[in-house]
Amino acid sequence: MSYPYQINSLEAYYKAYRKSVEEPEVFWAEIAEHFNWYKKPKQILNWNFIEPKVTWFNDVKLNITENCLDRWAESQPDTPAIIWESNHPNEAHRIITYRELLHKVNLFSQVLKNNGVQKGDRICIYMPMVPELAIAMLSCARVGAIHSVVFGGFSAQSIADRIHDASCKLVITADGAFRGNKIIDLKNTIDDALVQCKSVEKVIVLTRTREPISMIKGRDIWWEDEIEKIEANGYPFFIPEVMDAEDPLFILYTSGSTGKPKGVVHSCAGYMVYTNYTFVNVFQYQHGDVFFCTADAGWITGHSYIVYGPLSAGATSLMFEGIPTFPDAGRFWDIVEKFQVNILYTAPTAIRSLMSFGTGFVDAKNLSSLKVLGTVGEPINEEAWHWYDTHIGKNKCPIVDTWWQTETGGIMISNLAGITPAKPSYATLPLPGIQTLLLDENGIPLKGSDASIEELPHEMASGNLCIKFPWPSILRTTYGDHERCKLTYFSTYPNLYFTGDGCLRDTEGNYRITGRVDDVLNVSGHRIGTAELENAINQHSGVIESAIVGYPHDVKGQGIYAYVIYQGNLEDKKLVAADINQTVTRIIGAIAKPDKIQFVSGLPKTRSGKIMRRILRKIAEGESENLGDISTLLDPEIVQAIVGERI
């Protein structure tokens, strides 16, 4: 099976990009022809960035699950849709074909209906990384409910905030989750959260860990019992709810500068078309490939590139319940070898972590099935890029360095595997449909920042990254607060979507994300991107990982505070710090040398691998008590260790 809209050459990329800019409605209408619609689109796009209001394919009728399940269950019923690998290497894996997945989604869709779920209801999903998580998401979509997946590691208060904000009617959870050598208590956390949430009428509980839990009569029901009731009456074909293009598909909460999570809303049609298009093209997916995205489905990467993107393309998507270092640091490579993975998509944080264990866990593994490697979540530093290329890709696999956001729904800037050139630490070129613009702090477009991608050489430009034209999967609103959506994304620069990221565009038109604008330091009037500085520090031979924050400095206004995980002899910390500063001076310049370097055993990270810089910033500023909620961190104890050793 081939994809008619798959770009297969550099020339084809330029042609597609040119058409997407000159005739965007024609371009996306042609892509949309390859999906199943109850009513085909005629009104392709209406938009303005003032309100803001964007609609794509506004007059269509569809259900996304018909494009993810039904058409493949008919045309390739025995193709694996989901391969699942347990946290425990000795537990049997599961392979679910498209025929079987459709059956399971039909069953659980009926469970939802039997428990009062209707089109437009909000459903909170708080589950481990098991196939039933994807089944729950797809079943919500099939009945027309709006799912809000909460990562299975958030605290009760965080869950309560999200349930309350969306007025969720039902919660889908499990008794617990396995993560490495730990058991995560999910159901009891939900019980604590629901003390504050009066909107929830039912809680459906999947059996996973078999830990003792409480089941409240009249509210809590077992997943397996509900399925058994329906199976006793024969195979149900659940007729999908007819949805409009702009009906919400899901809400996904992301942290905001105010501290209150923002519920980013994505709609049905545009999100489906864009995630499919980017999946097929960025990874150059071929029928039969095994695609392994290591993200958790509780984050946007899991939504777009474990569930909706791959399944809408009829792909085989591998889900992994565990962590990359359990039972040892070779787990990813065991999985690649076991299932003959062709495409691996993971985070730079994971790569750097695995680098620290050396190559002993890699060398003995057969990774010859790999064709494409990818990174997501943050800019990848050059050292990690080369390690990934050499030791995992064996210098034969293109690496796609993808930049995008929860709010964008899908990949925005990336090389296409083996088609467009890669450049270490650069996301490279925008995808078709993505019209970028770089502005200075006063909102003035930088010279050469939006020149045609084919006009080479470019003039170097560095500024704030904006998008000047809508793409199909752009966020539609922030749930229940459209004004917040406007203020956050569309008011900084009128008539533009502001990404919040700083960006460098080189003479070849390649884009390099330099970090969040609020993570840019102003040192003696010089602006220094934290991502750029971390990349420089990480190139020191003994540095495993680093994190940079600013702190008040009497002379410079803002000083540079570096937290460094170092592998090697630290008997003379001053000498090591001087060596690191010399590395920074050589790569960036003396102005970028950290004022303070604190050697730490670890960094405060969420379980998705994101470094919590707000905590590090407070510690650098001398705060030790009011550090905020640290319960969602992978290792909360690391925070006190850092506080105790603060310089």
Reported confidence tier of residue 630, pLDDT bands at 50, 70, 90: confident
Superfamily of segment(s) 524-644 = ANL, C-terminal domain (3.30.300.30)
Determine contact, residues 584/537, Cβ cutoff 8 Å: yes
- Reference 515, options 504, 526, 523; nearest CA is 504
pLDDT, residue 613, reads 85
**Model confidence over 310-332: pLDDT tens digits?**
999 999 999 999 999 999 999 99
**Lowest-confidence pick of 199-203, 405-409, 549-553, 573-577:** 549-553
Which pLDDT band, with edges at 50, 70 and 90, does 259 fall under? very low
| pLDDT higher at 368 or 559 | 368
Q: Return the pLDDT at 554.
A: 66
Q: What is the pLDDT of residue 1?
A: 66
Q: Identify the sign of the CA torsion 481, 437, 430, 58.
A: positive
Extended beta strands in 207-275, E state: 220-222, 243-244, 248-254, 262-267
Percent of the chain residues topping a pLDDT of 90: 76
Tens digit of pLDDT for each residue in 372-413? 999 998 888 899 999 999 999 999 999 999 999 999 999 999
Q: Is the pLDDT reported for residue 154 higher than 80?
A: no
* Mean pLDDT across 557-582: 92
User: Identity (one letter) of the amino acid at 224?
Assistant: E
Residue 609: is it exposed, middle or buried by C-beta count within 10 angstroms (0-12/13-18/19+)? buried
Of 255-269, 412-426, 478-492, 496-510, the least confident: 255-269
The residue extents of the domains of the chain are: 524-644
**pTM (two decimals):** 0.85
Average pLDDT, the chain: 92
Residue 223 host element (H or E): helix 223-231
Q: What is the mean pLDDT of residues 573-590?
A: 87
